[in-house]
Amino acid sequence: MYPIITLTTDFGEQDSYVGQMKGAILSVQPRVQLVDLNHQIPPQRIVAGAFELWRAWRAFPLHTVHVAVVDPGVGTARRIIAAHIKGHFFVLPDNGLLSFILAEESVEEVVEVADPRFWRSTVSHTFHGRDIMGPVAAHIASGVPLRKLGGELDAADLVMLESRLQDGDRRDRPFRCEVLHVDRFGNVVLPVRGELSGGGRTIHVSIDGTSLALPAARCYGEVPNGALVLITGSSGLWEIAKAGGSAAEHLGVEVGSEVELDTGR
């Protein structure tokens, strides 16, 4: 046995909060592989955490436990849940963090985390990542079945965000969306799925009032340095990219900017 636990939080890196969570996990199960997915989720931006979980979870092997703590409701009546989806486990507040995954996958089992025997012995009012979710993840990684953690829930009752991924190959044109993410390279990620194979296709994009006719390509290297291009990023979503530069800076856009797309279909 050599279980993996991933961590996604909005804790940043100026505090030892992530380290304290790991200490609580290791106090339960010291033989675990801990992987940081992202701790730079903007404070309390649940949709960013949901997107991060969605694009990262498939890179991990079966039986991985994913803990996500973006938890503005800590200390209130919001539920903590543990879910089993396609051989992976998730421990997180029931506030929409699973939305993007739930839109694609069905839940095998989901329970409310309720039995304090699997928590830290003292539980603070403001840090359930360390005191509840971390230890619960460690117990799941050690083989504790979900049904022992608390009562079963109906997956249809879980909180869902309104934000949705769209299918880029749909026929009705044009269609609208908002910028979902900007990465470190300045790639502008759109909530639009689909494989852009290049081959001379042009897609019309209006973004913050600028109209662009962008060539679809498979990678940055297919266009000249400095050119804008629309590619399918590594998560299967459309990205506006700039070869050798930052598309986000070039266009002056950020998360939430409005986009209109016309695929010419």
Query: Which residues contribute to the site for its own copies (CB under 8 A)?
Result: 2, 4, 6, 8, 10-24, 26-27, 30-31, 33-40, 43-44, 52, 55-56, 59-61, 64, 72-76, 124-127, 130-131, 181, 183-185, 218-222, 231-234, 244
Closer residue to its own copies (CB): 1 or 156: 1
**What is the spatial distance between Cα 50 and Cα 101, in angstroms, rounded to a whole number?**
8
**DSSP bridge pairs for 64:** none
**What string of DSSP letters covers 114-167?**
--GGGS-SS--SS-HIIIIIHHHHHHHHTT--GGGTS-B--GGGS---S---EE
List all residues 6 or more positions away from 222 whose beta carbon is below 8 Å from its beta carbon.
198, 229
Closer residue to its own copies (CB): 18 or 190: 18
3-state class percentages of the chain: helix first, strand second, coil last, to nearest 5: 25, 30, 45
Closer residue to its own copies (CB): 74 or 107: 74
Closer residue to its own copies (CB): 104 or 152: 104
Closer residue to its own copies (CB): 29 or 263: 29
Least separation in angstroms between CB 139 and its own copies = 15
Least separation in angstroms between CB 224 and its own copies = 12
Least separation in angstroms between CB 72 and its own copies = 7
Cα 226 to chain centroid distance, Å, stands at 30
**What is the spatial distance between Cα 216 and Cα 263, in angstroms, rounded to a whole number?**
10
Least separation in angstroms between CB 225 and its own copies = 9
- And the tokens for 123? 């539980």
Contact of 250 with 229, CB cutoff 8 Å: no
Least separation in angstroms between CB 53 and its own copies = 9
